[in-house]
Structures are given as structure tokens and as C-alpha cells.
Structure 1
Amino acid sequence: MRIPEHKLDEIRQAADIVEVVADVVSLKKSGQGFTGLCPFHNEKTPSFRVNPDMGIFKCFGCGEGGDAFSFVMKTEHVSFMEAVRSLAERYNVDLPEEDSTPEQAERATRFEKLYEALRFAANWYYQQLKHHEEAEKARVYLQKRGFTIETIRVFGLGYAPPSGQALLDAAVQEGIDESILLDTDLVKPSSKGEGVYDSFRDRLMFPILNPSARVIGFAGRTFDENKGPKYVNSAQTDVYNKSQVLYGIHLAKSVIRQEKQVILVEGYTDVMSLAQHGVKNVVANSGTALTREQLELLKRYSNRLLMIYDADAAGQKAMVRGIELALEMGLEPETLQLPEGEDPDSFVKEQGQEGFIEHKRKNTEDYITYLLRLAEESGRLTSMHERVHVIEELVELLAAIPDPVARQVATQQLHQSTHKFRGGSDRELHAAVDASVAKRQQRNKLRQTRTEDSGPRTVSGASQAEGPPPIQDEGLPLDPSAEISDSVTPSKRRPEYERRLLKLCLEHGAWMVDYIYQYVYPSFLEDSQYREFFELLVERAKRQEPIDRSTFRAFPSSTPELLATIFMEKHTPGSRMSERMKQNRFDQVDEVMEAKSTMKVLVTHYLQRLKASITTEMSEDKLPDTRRQELVTMMREAQKQLNTLQSTAAEHCFENPAGYDPEQKRKEGFSYTPKPRKSS
């Protein structure tokens, strides 16, 4: 089904790019936009930018960019159509009815089918909990645990009947393919070699959702612990990885931002009970050891982490490991221990929201205080040698903190906490932490070297261009057919001057495209995607079609991503500075002079690449004499034009467009109005 263009525009206008991105990234105001840690690659310093006025995002670290549609597509691994449906549903935009024909279902992407199957299963399990006769024990269990109907609905709890094919039969009847059910681990192949059976049977079902509130997997709790493990989780699939998800994150993320703190617990029912009693900034790591991926997810919403684990040995060990990982990831971990025999579920039911908050206020410990208390309770501070080991362990822990200031503050805290039995000044501790940091860096460097050494080796220069097409001896502008292979001068980053040129075209429209095209041909651009886009602009200018930002935002495929690359600046002025620049004519940019400067740089680089390509071809042994002579002539002409460019100011390298008066800028601020087009 093709969605009408006006409907896509309606969704674009309704969708708040900041709100959409904030589901996944913790954003901070910066200038006229927002910044955050990129969700598409690992980074410690934010290089991800969102511009709400343009409705686009861009990462200056990995290069990803686009609009709200492309962000949903990339983060949720769905097609364009599914992203459109998701945003339309979220922002209450009605879409045309879609005929559910077999052909259209077949065209749907695999990820869409996986999500659809999981969503169906979650709804089906929920209905079984409400109506199935066998679900009475589940309903009684939840009632005894004190969970309200609203809590059950919000968390989407369900029931898997004991029959081995109940879900399978319902899903197949709904038109869901058996292979999709296998790929989502909703069913498993029979050990007898024929047929499949439901993965979850006679269990209380906890659907697990990603930050965008899409079902990605399940956890099932048994009612008879003699018949297997208490909890069984979905196996790893293309949309579910247990080590990368957190239970309840879709409900807690906005509250975490408001509270500027996330509470991490161990169990599903801990999350539900706390949320039911008004403590909603809580998630669980779902019975798995805390992982870096889970902490990366939490870091999107807050750096402050309060860990509440069981007081037994296993819980304390998990807490210590969690603290180490959190510090390495740049988070600020704290701990809270509940009274013996209590867990978050039982404690909040007994004490209520106020009692829990009061206990949290009085008993929250920083990680240094917590770890020293553990050492003292285990008798490790009574012996001199044990005290040394405890301090050494804490020094090693502090060395993992990536931020130098945070590390210094933590070292000072360690000094104050251990001074009573350690003595001396804080200098020794700071020196010990610095030495541990140096050792850690050396280990990481060695590990990285080993990884690089074990990687594949490549031969430099193995792939060379065969040589450039001929260039006409006509001076500037050069022959538009003289395109140089991208492989001559491979570039890791797109040329900034080419980005500026395209931005000028989009900001000022057809007259700017016509002016630049007098001196710059598409073949001059090194980046292939920029080159194709400039060709498109030239063609649209010839046909007198609109050339502006809003027009190209409506284009499908990779165009919105390209617009993000073109328009997003790494450093932008704040709103006050921007307003002042608008009011001060001396701060306004002369677009003609900017175009001339950009063209000079671009043509200079083109000529340098051309020379390199000529040199490569001339080095061939079996080059015919006639071709060699052609190349010598081409090299001489390219060098001549290069000398002219390098010795001439940009404003004199190219003629002014008709109607442009350079004195106008100096006297009263630049204002250029192109001559009206002649109708063809």
C-alpha cells in the first residue's frame, strides 16, 4: 500500500523528533538543538545531534542521520512502512485502510512479521489469563500477591495454557506463519523430529518490551517448581537478546528522566509492586547478570543508578560486579539494602510508597561506604594485611572511572573513609590510583594491539584506478565527463566543502544551483552520494521544479539521511546568538562570497585529485606514447588552472551573478534578489 504524500507530511508535522529520539537517547539542550550519546555506536563523548526545527538527527561520530522515520527504522529494525504506521499510531494520525491480501503480507519485512507475531502472542496470553479455565490458579496467585487489575493490564501479564499447541493453533488461524513462530521462539521443534509445540505451557507470562514499547520476548513463571525452573525466558532471537534488555524500561524511561535516577532491582514482581505503589523509575535485569549493554541502555536516561539486590551472598556478589561495570561505563552507582528477609516487592507492600522513599532517603549508600561496610561485616578490616587488600581492591575499582574529576572526588572520599585505620595523607592514595590507571591503560593498549595483530592483513595500494577519463583543454569550467574514480583518493569522511556547496543550493534555491553549475559540474564532487544529489538539483533547476529543504524531506529512501548530513552542524550558535546575528547586518553571511569560497576549495581539490590520477596512469610501463602525450598535456593544463586558483582571491576566481553588487554588502548588509526567470 502506498501512503499518500499529504499523510506522510501530516505525520512529519505531528511527530516530535526530540520526543521520538528521547525514547532511546538521553538528550540535553545544546544551542538550538539537543545532544546525546549515539545509539548506533559506542562513544563516551556525545557526538549525536538533534535539530527540532529541521526534524532531523545526525551523529558526527559514525555518520548516521535522518528524520523521525529513519530513526524508527534504524532503532527498531523495521521497514519504512512499519515506521510510518508506528508514528501514525503514536501521534493519532489516521492512515488509509490497508487490504490484508496474501501478496501484501508477503511483501512485509521479516522484522515486521516477528514483531506482529509477538504482539499477537502477548494479546492472546492476556486474554487467556482473563478467560481460560486453567488460568484460575494464575488469577488466584496474582490476587494473593496483591496485584491490581490495572497493574496486570499495564504490564500485560498473561497465561500460557498447558496444551502443547494452543498458541500455535491460534496463531496459524490468525495467518501467522509457523516459521515466524519458530524464529520468535513462541514454538519449538519437536524432539521426535516432526511438528512443533508451544514453548510456554502452564505458566504465568510476563511480556518483555523494548524502550519503544514493542513486545520482543517473554518470561514464564511456573506454578510447580518441581516441574522445571521457576522462570523460563524466550531464547535469543533477532529481536530479543536477554543481555541487552531491561524489564519495565518502556514504562519507566520518562519517569527516570524526571527523577534523574534509575532504580535497578532483580525481579519482575519487584518492578510491578514498586510501580503499583507509585515508585515508577524502576527496572529489572530479568534474572541475568548485569551487562554492559544493559548499562548502556540505562545511561540513555540517567547517570544515577540505585541498585537494590537481595542481601544474600549471591545478591551481594552481583551488586559488587554491577558497581564495577557501572563505574567503567561512567555511571554513578549507589546501593540500598533492605531489612533482612525483605525484597522490594514485600517491603513496599508493607511500608507503602512513603515508607519506601523514607527508607531510601535514610539508608542509600555510596558505593565506597557500601563496599567498606561489606568488608567490615565480613571481618576483613580487623587484620592489617586484610585492610591493605581491601584498599588495593578499592583503588583498582576507582581506576576504572573514566572521568578524571569524578575519579579524584572518589579518591578523596576513599581517603576520608579509610583515614582512621590507614593514616597518612591523601597523596599516597591519589598516586596509587594514578598508577592503577596507567596499568589499566597499558593492559587495554596491549589487548587492542593483540586484536589488531590477529585481524586480516591487507596490501596497501592493491586496488588502483586505471586512470582518469580525458580532460578537455578548455580552462575552467572543466569537462563534465572528467570524473575521477573514488578509489584514487579514498576518504574516511565526506568533504566538508562539498557539504557546504549542497547546503547553499538548498538554502537559496534554483538561482544558486544555476550559478554554481556554471563553474562546478557534478563530476567534480568526490563523494558519490553528494555527486548524485547535485545532479538531481541541477536537473530540478533545469525543469524549474522546487528546490528547498521541505521538498526533499518528503523524498523516500536515503534522502532524509543525506539532508541531516548536509544541514546538521557539529557546533551551532545558541538561540540568543542566532537572534543577535539576524538583527546585526554585519553578522549576516554573503551567500555569493560563500559560494565563491566553497567553489574555489572544491575545484582545487578536484584538480589535485586529477593530477594524482594522471600521475598514476603515467607510471604504467606499457602506456602508449599517444596516450602519454595526452596525459602530459592534461597535467600541464590542470597545473596551470591550479596555479591560477591558488594565486587568486576567491571573489575574483568566478564572475558575480547578474544583479549582485558587492558594495551592497559593505554599505547596508547583503540583499541579493536574482533576476526573474524567463518562462520557457
Structure 2
Amino acid sequence: MISKNTIDTVYETARVEEVIGDFVQLKRAGSNLKGLSPFSNEKSPSFMVSPVKQIWKDFSSGKGGNVVAFLMEHEHFSYPEAIRYLAKKYNIEIEETEQTEEDKEQANEKESMYLVSEFAQKYFHNTLLTTDEGRAIGYSYFKERGFSGDTINKFGLGYSPEQWDAFTKEALGKGYKLEYLEKTGLTISGENRQTDRFRGRVMFPIQSMSGRVLGFGGRILGNDKKAAKYLNSPESDIYHKSKVLYGIYHAKQAIAKKDNCYLVEGYTDVIQLHQAGIENVVASSGTALTPDQIRLINRLTKNITVLFDGDAAGLRAAIRGIDLILEEGMNVKVCTFPEGEDPDSFAKKSSYDALVAYLEGEAKDFIQFKASLLMDEAKNDPVKKAGLIRDMVTSISKIPDRIQREIYIQECARIMDISEQVLASTLAQLVQKDIADAGKKFKEEQKQKALDVVKDGQEVAGRVDVLYELERKIIQILLLYGGETEEFEDVLLKADEEGELKEVTEMKQYKVYERIFLSLQEDEIELANPLFRKLYSSLIEYYRQQPVFEADQYLMGLDQELSREVTNILMEEERELLHNWEVKQIIVKQKNQTIAQYVQETILTLRWFLVDKIINELKISLAEAAPENDNSEILSMAIDYQRLINNFSSKLGRVMSRYS
């Protein structure tokens, strides 16, 4: 186990802004730093880091804490692993205390898979460097590709022997469990034997942004036509191909520094460019580019330059990826290589200066790229040219920012020699169609929600001022139960016995008035009704000074209007059971409910109502907007708020089941 002295040194040395800066692009915001949330997909920064307080807060997910908490949340480290990561980053020597067998067994399943993968990487790398077979086949292959010894070491390249079960035998002999060898896909179990998945292949370890080994890519070197040229680890609890970029661990700092990311197709492209001095490069590992992979880059930079071979297949792949990148609000350029060349071969024979000059000089804006690529196909065919123009405008329609769209329309009009008015009209039609499709989906979701609320033919009773009733309910709770001490359910981030930081629910005692005050303050909610606003302030102040609520004493300090309202509320508790409030989404305390449940349901319902009100206002704006207007931003806001509604609904269900 890691000694307390080491842990103390790590905490004293590590800087939260430096550590998080390896994963998130941070920009100065006063005395703090801000960036896009690494825990959710967002376009506007809600992630804040305080260098002064040495803490961080993600307002989109509610997560926050110190530097160790970030690593445990973002990289799914255990507590000891987070400490080891920081010690390595800051060159702090780790003092160990003896680890018991019980401590060793406490590693959870995912951690065990990480440990197996890290062992495999070391085994394959050692086999490459120290065995006759590894050096004769694997090492010579990498040297033929032009990789230096330092590069081979840096990327942890390796070799898996031809023998059926060489790795599996070694791993089992070292005490690693067959269960985790199978779950990571390193071992395949048959009826009578276990075999290695990667036999006779050179190995490329695939790492997370923090450097953890998630899986492997293996290239066969023989002439077996039945075997796949490249073989990847299967999907597992730690390896999700669509969410990983090869080389991101080695490229992240260069990407943030250069404010640009080069995107290539294969492992060797990344390695060769990196060796040539172009370190801000990653690969999609032969898979089609995914939104999750683009968002990974988006945390570090807004700029992507896609590098592709000059062949037709590579160019088509470039076109498919462009629209996805644009949809994420990023800037994209494309650079192709001369016929017969790819990033690997071109970097291998070029000097650093020549390579940089080529990448910068040949990188084209996506409009220029599409035009140059497809105009040859269209030539003098008006129909094909019209299709090309529509294709380009379709790409422009994917861009979230309206100003950028306008600029690209102007550029497209210049390149294609066509009027801006025609392109703008086509763009408006496409944008409106996207909005209409999304709006239709949104309305269907709303309709289904209405059906869920009004079931079995029940009709909602006469109209009611829901906000008024909810605010009045808060005043009633304060008057009737404000001084009571109750147990409330809190959601916290807490380390378990293995040091893993997990979201847990915990019962904690609060005075009812304290819980209400903290909840409204957290959401920055101010009561809308002036009468209730005055009562709320006076009641909170009263409870802060008096341990017990005395109605007569409290009424003495109120003016006539406030006193009348308090009296009405105090006298009507029993009458409320006669009203069908629940159909109107007004929570009424039942005799079998606890006070804590009543409070939490009321607060959640108030949040629900306020967000629903915003959604309705956005829907009115959409309905009243002219067809030619760009309403994508309004629709996006409405959808985001609807997700909040779904979250409130889920929480209400948990509150009711927890206390029922």
C-alpha cells in the first residue's frame, strides 16, 4: 500500500489546473478556468476549475471535488491508482507499505481487467525485445517500417508469439485469473483448451487519454489469406472502440498547444507522424469516425485536419466524416496526399520542415475540398453539378453556428459560381426540414408524456395557477413543519473500501427549513409571488433565531395582509384532502407520507414546473417564427430542458418509492 507520507506529498505537489489541463482545454475566466464538460456533451462551457481553492465543479453533471476526485471520476481510477498517476506525473517516489492478500483481492472487476491488459502490454513488449522470435519477426518488421527504438518503446509496441497459448500460460502462471483474460478478449476458451487471441502478430496497445491500456490491435505478418490482416480486442467493460482514439495519450498536450488535431486512419500513420515531429495526431483505428471520438478531440481543440490517402475509398471516407465533425460545431480541414502515398509513407521520406509545409499548405477548407473532389465528377453535367451543390449545402446546414453558415454560403457561391440567394434559400429549406423533423419527434414525446399523466380516461380538472399553489405549498410546509428535524436523501460522491469514488445516496439530518432554503438557493429560485416572497424571508429568518415555531408569536410580527394569509394556510390543512390536487401536479401531504418525502416532492415539482414553463415559451417561439428563420438553437434548448424534465420525473419516482 502507498504510505501516508507519499499521499501527503502528492496532495501538496499536484495542481488541479495542470492535471485537468491534460484532459480538458481550459481558458481563463477571471480568477478561474473554464472548459467543456468532460462528463457530458455540451457546446457551452459549464466546467470550472479554481486554482486558488484547488477544486473543480462540473455544473452540467453536478460532479466536483479535488484533483484526485477528477481522476477517479474521469479515468475511473481507484484511489491508489489516482495517487500513483499523480506521483508519476510529478516525479514523486512512491513509498510502499506491505500489501496483504486481502488488499490484493479487493480490486474490483474493471480494475482487474485493467491490470490484465497492462500485464499483457508488458509481456508483448518484452517478447518483442528479448526473445529470438520476437526480434526476428516483430522487431525487424517495426524497423523495416522505419520506427526507431525510442518510438517502439514510447508506444509500447510488442509481439505475440505463434504458439497457441504462450501468453495465456504466462498470465495464469503469474496469478492472473482466466475470467479476466477472457473478458478482455486476450484469451479464447474452447471446450478442452485456452488459446491466445493474438498469435503471430505485432501488437499495438490502445491507451486511454490517461495512458491506461484498454485493448490491442494486432497485425498479422504471415501470408494466411483466411486470417484478418488486423485484429482488434473485442468490446469489453474497459474497451469501447467507438469512444477511443489511438494515440490520444501521446497527442493530448500537443493538440491543446497547437490548437489543432490531425486525424488519420491507422496505427502506423500515427506513429510515423509522431516520430517525424507531428505529435498532435490521432487515429480512428480503421473504424468509421463516431460522434464520441469527435467529442474526445473537442475537449482539447475546436480544429480538426483530416489526413487521407489519395485513393477514392479514402476520399469517400473523408466526406462521410466531415458532416459529423461539423455537427459537433468544430472547424474541419482536409489534406490529401499524392497518389500512391499515405501519411505513413509521406512522413517517412519527408523532413520535418517539408512535412509541416505540406500539411499547412495543402490543407483545404471542407468547402474547397468538396468542390475540388466532386467537380471533376460533375464536369459539364448540369444535373451532377446541381447534386454537388446540394451536397455542399447539406454539409453547411450541419454547422450549428449561424454566422459560420452564412460565411460558408458566400464561399460556396464564389467557388461554384452561383448566386448566394439560391444557396441561402436551399439552406433555409434544409435547416427548416431538420427543425421540423426534430420538432415532430419532440411533439410525439410530449404527447406520450401527456398520455402517461392522464390515464384511464381521467380528464384534468379546471385550470389552476400551478406556480401559485406550489409556492403556497412551500410556505405551508415552513409554517407546519419548518422546525422539524428530518432525514433527507442526499446524493454524494464517496470512496468505497477499494478507494473507488462512486455516486451514493446517504441519509442526512436537516431541519426542514434548512433543507428548503438550501434547495432553493442551489437552484437560484426566488418565489414569484410578492406575498409569498415576504413570508418566505420572514420564516427563514424566524427559524434561524427561534428553535420552536410559535404561531401566535410569529403572527405578532406580521402586517395584516401577511397575517391573514398565514392564518388561512394554518387552518386549511385538512381541507386539502378534498381537492383532486395530484391530477393538477400539486403535491399534498398524505397521512402515510413522511415530512421529508413531502418536502422533496414539492421542491422537485416546483423545479419541474419552472422548466416546463420555459419549454412552453420556447415552443411558442418556434410556432411564431417565420419559416425562413433558423430556429435550431431554440429547438436545441427545448430538447435540453426536456432532458431535465425526464431527470426530475426519475427523481420523483425514486423519492416516492424510497419513502413508501
- TM-score normalised over the length of structure 2: 0.71
**For each residue in 1:554-594, what CA deviation from the matched residue of structure 2 results, as whole angstroms up to 9, or x when unmatched?**
xxxxxxxxxxx99x99xxxxxxxxxxxxxxxxxxxxxxxxx
Letter of the structure 1 residue corresponding to residue 185 of structure 2: D
Return the match for 2:576 from 609, 613, 619: 619
Calculate percent identity across the aligned residue pairs: 33
Question: Could you tell me which residue of structure 2 aligns to residue 17 of structure 1?
Answer: 16
Letter of the structure 2 residue corresponding to residue 163 of structure 1: Q
Q: 1:61, CA displacement in angstroms? A: 1.9
For residues 101 and 196 of structure 1, do their structure 2 counterparts lie closer, same or farther at Cα, with a shift above 3 Å needed?
Answer: farther
For residues 97 and 438 of structure 1, do their structure 2 counterparts lie closer, same or farther at Cα, with a shift above 3 Å needed?
Answer: same
Q: Is the 8 A contact 2:486 2:512 kept in 1?
A: yes
1:549-564 alignment, distance < 5 Å: none
1:150 aligns with 2:145: no
For residues 94 and 484 of structure 1, do their structure 2 counterparts lie closer, same or farther at Cα, with a shift above 3 Å needed?
Answer: closer
Q: 1:2, CA displacement in angstroms? A: 7.7
In the alignment, the residues of structure 2 paired with residue 147 and residue 178 of structure 1 have an alpha-carbon distance, to the nearest angstrom, of 34
Q: Is the 8 A contact 2:48 2:57 kept in 1?
A: yes
Q: 1:288, CA displacement in angstroms? A: 0.3
In the alignment, the residues of structure 2 paired with residue 377 and residue 523 of structure 1 have an alpha-carbon distance, to the nearest angstrom, of 73
Question: Could you tell me which residue of structure 2 aligns to residue 200 of structure 1?
Answer: 198
Question: Could you tell me which residue of structure 1 aligns to residue 429 of structure 2?
Answer: 435
Question: Could you tell me which residue of structure 1 aligns to residue 76 of structure 2?
Answer: 77
Question: Could you tell me which residue of structure 1 aligns to residue 215 of structure 2?
Answer: 217
Q: Is the 8 A contact 1:82 1:112 kept in 2?
A: no
3-state DSSP of counterpart to 1:206: strand
Question: Could you tell me which residue of structure 2 aligns to residue 315 of structure 1?
Answer: 314
Question: Could you tell me which residue of structure 2 aligns to residue 101 of structure 1?
Answer: 100
For residues 457 and 428 of structure 1, do their structure 2 counterparts lie closer, same or farther at Cα, with a shift above 3 Å needed?
Answer: same
In the alignment, the residues of structure 1 paired with residue 85 and residue 96 of structure 2 have an alpha-carbon distance, to the nearest angstrom, of 15
**For each residue in 1:465-499, what CA deviation from the matched residue of structure 2 results, as whole angstroms up to 9, or x when unmatched?**
xxxxxxxxxx999874354978xxxx99xxxxxxx
Q: 1:340, CA displacement in angstroms? A: 0.5
In the alignment, the residues of structure 1 paired with residue 570 and residue 65 of structure 2 have an alpha-carbon distance, to the nearest angstrom, of 34
1:88 aligns with 2:87: yes
1:360 aligns with 2:359: yes
CA RMSD of aligned residues (A): 3.7
1:137 aligns with 2:94: no
In the alignment, the residues of structure 2 paired with residue 13 and residue 613 of structure 1 have an alpha-carbon distance, to the nearest angstrom, of 55
3-state DSSP of counterpart to 1:61: coil
In the alignment, the residues of structure 1 paired with residue 569 and residue 291 of structure 2 have an alpha-carbon distance, to the nearest angstrom, of 46
1:446 aligns with 2:440: yes
Q: Is the 8 A contact 1:78 1:111 kept in 2?
A: no
Question: Could you tell me which residue of structure 2 aligns to residue 513 of structure 1?
Answer: none
Relative contact order (C-alpha < 8 Å, sep 6+): which is higher?
1
Q: Is the 8 A contact 2:37 2:58 kept in 1?
A: yes
Q: 1:361, CA displacement in angstroms? A: 2.8
1:390 aligns with 2:388: yes
Letter of the structure 1 residue corresponding to residue 405 of structure 2: R
In the alignment, the residues of structure 1 paired with residue 178 and residue 233 of structure 2 have an alpha-carbon distance, to the nearest angstrom, of 17
1:474-493 alignment, distance < 5 Å: 480-483=483-486
Letter of the structure 2 residue corresponding to residue 116 of structure 1: L
Q: Which runs of 5+ in 1 are unaligned?
A: 462-474, 493-519, 532-564, 570-595, 623-627, 635-680
For residues 382 and 404 of structure 1, do their structure 2 counterparts lie closer, same or farther at Cα, with a shift above 3 Å needed?
Answer: same
For residues 95 and 275 of structure 1, do their structure 2 counterparts lie closer, same or farther at Cα, with a shift above 3 Å needed?
Answer: closer
Q: Is the 8 A contact 1:126 1:157 kept in 2?
A: yes
In the alignment, the residues of structure 2 paired with residue 60 and residue 612 of structure 1 have an alpha-carbon distance, to the nearest angstrom, of 36
Q: 1:437, CA displacement in angstroms? A: 1.4
In the alignment, the residues of structure 1 paired with residue 188 and residue 450 of structure 2 have an alpha-carbon distance, to the nearest angstrom, of 38
Question: Could you tell me which residue of structure 1 aligns to residue 161 of structure 2?
Answer: 161
1:649-664 alignment, distance < 5 Å: none
Q: Is the 8 A contact 2:201 2:220 kept in 1?
A: yes
In the alignment, the residues of structure 1 paired with residue 108 and residue 515 of structure 2 have an alpha-carbon distance, to the nearest angstrom, of 34
Letter of the structure 2 residue corresponding to residue 264 of structure 1: L
**For each residue in 1:626-647, what CA deviation from the matched residue of structure 2 results, as whole angstroms up to 9, or x when unmatched?**
xx9x9xxx9xxxxxxxxxxxxx
The number of aligned residues is 513
Q: 1:620, CA displacement in angstroms? A: 3.9
Question: Could you tell me which residue of structure 1 aligns to residue 514 of structure 2?
Answer: 525
In the alignment, the residues of structure 1 paired with residue 216 and residue 487 of structure 2 have an alpha-carbon distance, to the nearest angstrom, of 54
1:277-356 alignment, distance < 5 Å: 277-356=276-355
Q: 1:278, CA displacement in angstroms? A: 1.0
Question: Could you tell me which residue of structure 2 aligns to residue 401 of structure 1?
Answer: 399
Question: Could you tell me which residue of structure 2 aligns to residue 541 of structure 1?
Answer: none
1:659-670 alignment, distance < 5 Å: none
Letter of the structure 2 residue corresponding to residue 164 of structure 1: W
3-state DSSP of counterpart to 2:351: helix
For residues 94 and 353 of structure 1, do their structure 2 counterparts lie closer, same or farther at Cα, with a shift above 3 Å needed?
Answer: closer
**For each residue in 1:597-616, what CA deviation from the matched residue of structure 2 results, as whole angstroms up to 9, or x when unmatched?**
99549979x99999999967
3-state DSSP of counterpart to 1:336: strand
3-state DSSP of counterpart to 1:45: coil
1:38 aligns with 2:37: yes
3-state DSSP of counterpart to 1:200: coil
Q: 1:95, CA displacement in angstroms? A: 4.0
1:112 aligns with 2:121: no
1:232-271 alignment, distance < 5 Å: 232-271=231-270
3-state DSSP of counterpart to 1:334: strand
In the alignment, the residues of structure 2 paired with residue 318 and residue 452 of structure 1 have an alpha-carbon distance, to the nearest angstrom, of 37
For residues 460 and 103 of structure 1, do their structure 2 counterparts lie closer, same or farther at Cα, with a shift above 3 Å needed?
Answer: farther
**For each residue in 1:433-469, what CA deviation from the matched residue of structure 2 results, as whole angstroms up to 9, or x when unmatched?**
22321211221222344566678975589xxxxxxxx
In the alignment, the residues of structure 2 paired with residue 109 and residue 145 of structure 1 have an alpha-carbon distance, to the nearest angstrom, of 39
For residues 351 and 616 of structure 1, do their structure 2 counterparts lie closer, same or farther at Cα, with a shift above 3 Å needed?
Answer: farther
3-state DSSP of counterpart to 1:526: helix
Q: Which runs of 5+ in 2 are unaligned?
A: 456-477, 492-508, 525-536, 550-564, 580-588, 596-660
Q: Is the 8 A contact 2:168 2:187 kept in 1?
A: yes
In the alignment, the residues of structure 1 paired with residue 186 and residue 446 of structure 2 have an alpha-carbon distance, to the nearest angstrom, of 40
Q: 1:24, CA displacement in angstroms? A: 2.0
- TM-score normalised over the length of structure 1: 0.69
Structure whose residues are more often strand by fraction = 2
**For each residue in 1:8-41, what CA deviation from the matched residue of structure 2 results, as whole angstroms up to 9, or x when unmatched?**
4432221111122122212111111111111111
**For each residue in 1:172-222, what CA deviation from the matched residue of structure 2 results, as whole angstroms up to 9, or x when unmatched?**
2222111111121111221xx244221111100000111101111100000
For residues 598 and 340 of structure 1, do their structure 2 counterparts lie closer, same or farther at Cα, with a shift above 3 Å needed?
Answer: farther
